[in-house]
A and B are shown apart, each in its own frame.
Chain A
């Protein structure tokens, strides 16, 4: 059986990748995808830790909840991106600074 540390390391790497992507990418679509990667990293950790606990499935159930939340988040996020594109003709986040000062 693959030890749990491997999953945790994978989860940490994925989370870092997502976080870095979230911080440095300017394309809003890419930013959303980075968020997805971070959430999935958390999902991996949830499921991995749940393996060591045979008496309950809390981690897996939470995984499902997270997937549902992700779906909602993407739906809202893409809608925001679309309306942003309509207003500013761009999907670059640094050009959408309507709330400046």
Chain B
């Protein structure tokens, strides 16, 4: 083993290439040759590459553990009781592999930053690295990915485009690995776009169905908005920190909050300008009122974090860009499990964890992340309440759980947030795969996609498919936070963290000393976020239990699918013929097989993932600390400690006593949330046998629709709350408008019973885009096509008519023209030309240089109006002058060339001037030196 790892030194760890390139190989072989290879070969290929990639990932992880262990230091720390404890600390070890240098970038603001001065360009390498954070992600992606590949080989067995599916799926695994193993933002961006592409391809996998194709496009466009943010964030990072790799950004991150003017981004007036009244003669346009008393600025850190967060909201389906994820369920179910639940959608959380040291520099953005997360968790949970499609429930549940992760990282609990990514990967993948197994069984009976996914047609499946039920139930227990399952330890840990810590600017002390305002979140924010989180957890428990009970408990309702039994005649077997308009008539008479347990390639991954969903929480059972202070079995916590060490400076904890009581409170509330939610579901669907379902759905749909408006009211309300007693100033008009508009949206959506933001977008964004498109189209037809295209053609035709006269075919005329042209050239080259370039050294010394030519000689006059420096012409082609700040000087040069003496003839002199004269004015600007201050080391 040791000999094996000695092949891979830490700075050239080429095993990463194996992990990365195997899935790419699979994608290539399946994509190019898959159709000819046939299904068994494609299955072998895809399982071999993902399995081998998983094995290589495990080997990498083992090597990483060795590297981390090598950085171990042991400290003796005394606790408050005076007892000494050994505290083991690890450094931030990473294994890196550089493929090649990709490009060099420029655009750094400040040359003082830690880069080579002689070469200020910033190298961007195609470099991959694995550290504690990406190591865990790598294992999840390859491990869960492998299980889902196994599952898919059976689930997709009947699909004619088998090879295409696995080519895309392998390509996805490759892109996701690029995303998490990237050592800098541009490489991460490749993976980011790659997973977006695979997501688009797989959502629209059955592209001959129009809704699937549009769902793919919707996902792509919503992601594009986020990608814009990520790109802007990258540019800003280059500008401020001069680096794009993780180490470099961490080194230069300090300059993001430097209080000097340069690290401030002016929001209003844009770019730090000045608004003044503009006068055109008698007409005065008043603009001065736009100038605020104090310019509205944000720090560079806030700008960067905002832009990166926009990228994260797009990929991780947070408000307001979540709309694509529920529609993404149009893709095959294993895709929903792998891409839209376990891995890709957590990329946003991963990005925030990866750049945690940048995000903590901006507490406002941290609070924004937490608030967005809490709001998304609650909003998606409300929408999940009224879904009947089993995959839609899980989709909204994913959005909601992603909201929890954002809530966690937003308050600075990066470990808790990331641990939820980890556990969520298991239980949500298992839930989706279980749903896929159910749909598979239902589809055998129903032959209709929509009806096969409708939970109202299921019920009692527990008896038909016990293994699927077991796995699904285990994962449901995990997601609703049943004590000691993984969800209990991750989600409820997030809720506890919300109460006990809040983000704080790590430079608060230094900045306050310099009279710089530092924003800190008010105390009620934590309680608000926590309340939203607990409410969302309650709803989670309810809707997940509802899904479980509707699907697996009670009687199987599939015998009477779609139509009430009293409308359709019951056939001889007591079955109601099923089907709808576009259904094959053959199918109506054939009721289809009763649901049955899925084959082994489907059930084995389910069992593994279901088990993991239950026990994965034991890797970080932080809750158990409540019972014993000595309890220290927190492997994930310790493992990730070095990664988030830098970020812990941006987190303020409440004191130990308050912390303990609040953690108890939170755990109690989380347990209550789980009990209440699941009991209500039990009462409705088991005790009352679902009699209330119809009434519940109708009322809850109206409420959930109206909730879209409540969102705006909530955002406006929080802004007003933050403004405090300034809430009644003009600046607060926008929050007030949000509150008022939100109330209207709530009314309109509830009236239309329109769920989600799609309706709001249709009424607000779509008309705007349509109007813009119409304007562009009429501009295209009226101006581009008419003025530019036709007018240009007309001018060209007219010119052609004129020039055709010259083209008379007589050789002599052509020759004469050639002679004329040559004469013109001769005339130009025989006379001297003066061309001056001024170079500025920056210190007030200027060098003015004249351009060279055949036999050129120069006579300089440092002052244009005075006599020349020397009486005769010399070969000195430049002059040096010094200027004080604000001074201006005009100099003159006279130039003669080799022909000049021959040209000193009366008539020729007039035609061909023998001496060229040129003047140039050099001005040195007055520079305002801003009072700069530097931030000391922390």
Contact = CB atoms under 8 A, between A and B. Distances in A.
B808 A97 contact: yes
Contacts of A96: 809, 811
Given A93-B810, A94-B810, A101 B815 contact: no
Interface on chain B toward A: helix, strand, loop, or mixed SS? helix
Contacts of A22: 815
Interface size class of B (residues with CB under 8 A): 10 to 19
Interface in B379-416: none
A101 B813 CA distance: 13
A94 B819 contact: no
A23 interface: yes
B807 interface: yes
Contact of B812 (A19, A23, A99, A100): A23
B804 interface: yes
Contacts of B804: 101
Of the candidates B804, B807, B808, B810, the one having the most CB atoms from chain A within 10 angstroms of its own CB is: B810
A42 B810 CA distance: 26
Nearest to B814: A99
A94 B807 contact: no
B816 interface: yes
Interface size class of A (residues with CB under 8 A): 10 to 19
Contacts of A93: 810-812
A22 B807 CA distance: 19
A87 interface: no
B809 A101 contact: yes
A101 B807 contact: yes
Interface in A71-101: 93-94, 96-101
A87 to B, nearest CB: 14
B809 A100 contact: yes
Nearest to B805: A101
A8 B215 CA distance: 84
Contact of B809 (A19, A26, A31, A97): A97
B811 A101 contact: no
Contacts of B819: 19, 23
Contact of B808 (A24, A26, A31, A100): A100
A96 B814 CA distance: 13
Contacts of B807: 99-101
Contacts of B816: 23
Given A19-B819, A23-B819, A101 B812 contact: no
Contacts of B808: 97, 100-101
B115 to A, nearest CB: 53
A46 B804 CA distance: 40
Nearest to A28: B811
Interface in B802-847: 804, 807-812, 815-816, 819
Contacts of A97: 808-810
Nearest to A25: B812
Interface string A10-54: 000000000100111010000100000000000000000000000
A44 to B, nearest CB: 20
Nearest to A101: B804
Contacts of B811: 31, 93-94, 96
Contacts of A24: 812
A94 to B, nearest CB: 5
A62 B819 CA distance: 24
A86 B819 CA distance: 30
Contacts of A98: 809
Interface string A52-77: 00000000000000000000000000
A99 B815 contact: no
Nearest to A99: B809
B790 to A, nearest CB: 24
A23 B815 contact: yes
A97 B812 CA distance: 11
A98 to B, nearest CB: 6
A70 to B, nearest CB: 18
A72 B32 CA distance: 58
A24 to B, nearest CB: 8
A77 B423 CA distance: 88
Nearest to B807: A101
Contacts of B815: 22-23
Interface string B703-738: 000000000000000000000000000000000000
A66 to B, nearest CB: 19
B433 to A, nearest CB: 77
Contacts of A99: 807, 809
Given A23-B815, A93-B812, A96-B809, 16 more contacts: A19-B819, A23-B819, A24-B812, A26-B812, A94-B810, A94-B812, A96-B811, A97-B808, A97-B810, A98-B809, A99-B807, A100-B807, A100-B808, A101-B804, A101-B808, A101-B809
11 contacts: A23-B816, A31-B811, A93-B811, A93-B812, A94-B811, A96-B809, A97-B809, A97-B810, A100-B810, A101-B804, A101-B808
Interface of A: 19, 22-24, 26, 31, 93-94, 96-101
Nearest 8 interchain pairs by C-beta: A97-B809, A100-B809, A99-B809, A93-B811, A101-B804, A94-B810, A100-B808, A97-B810
